Structure 1
């Protein structure tokens, strides 16, 4: 198997963060347990495109809720009339663990809105920066992250 690499990206939060502009028909909320099946399904769909894996629902729920950095107030869920279409799962260490946008909503500004909303939430928590990792070959995501002011910290070998 060929080695895979990712980039650690960082956004300085001492700089102004633009307000999130949500696409029409989108409402966001913090994660709630009743959203778990739909959030899990979206994350599975997102990982098919972006790499990685998502464990089965019950295992995922357990890992999600028992993670020491888990705070449901830092998991932002975007919904439209058809259900969950976007998720930004963040950790208390000012780290964006997952950002997933449903394929039918891609290219409409939802990923950008979720990121800017997360940045603003971390600013309110007085964090100095926010980090995330992206696979080196995920050019679409890298362009999005660069467009919201994220800078390369380092290139890392992806651990199995």
Structure 2
């Protein structure tokens, strides 16, 4: 899916009691746990902590300033991991924080950040059967981009 960043991005409304920061290695365990939880519910898998952290922090497109972490009094409740190529790699919200607008706020925060970096578009992939995520992305102004496959 894609979002044109030339269009206005609505202001973020953060749920009460949620603080936003960027990724730091001391948050790795909590972020990894949330990623595992999110992938169990949305498909895919996350490797063990050491492998995940090594890959995450050494990826050529990794920038800790593009990984936004949402925390409340109980810990990490949301993460949006973006790459420098104006791509949203992961967006996960803890089940206890869902339905409060946190996913939308994280998404809009990523859009604003890429706008400030003067990007024209931001992209992400979503599974065809993940209708809940598709609705969120569409409500934030994203649209489907169909890939055309070239016959072999």
Give the alignment's TM-score, normalised by structure 1: 0.91
Q: Which residue of 2 aligns with 1:137?
A: 129
DSSP 3-state at the match of 2:54: helix
SS in 2 for 1:135: coil
RCO higher in structure (CA 8 A, sep ≥6) = 1
- Bigger strand share: 1
1:122 to 90, 93, 114: 114
CA distance in 2, matches of 1:155, 1:125: 26
* Count of residues in correspondence between the two structures: 149
The CA distance in 1 between the partners of 2:101 and 2:11, in whole Å, is 12
1:62 to 51, 54, 76: 54
Cα RMSD after superposing both structures:
1.2
- What are the residue-to-residue correspondences of 1:23-62 with 2, within 5 Å? 23-62=15-54
TM, length-normalised to structure 2: 0.96
Q: Distance in 1 between matches of 2:146 and 2:13?
A: 30
Gap runs ≥5 in structure 1: 1-8
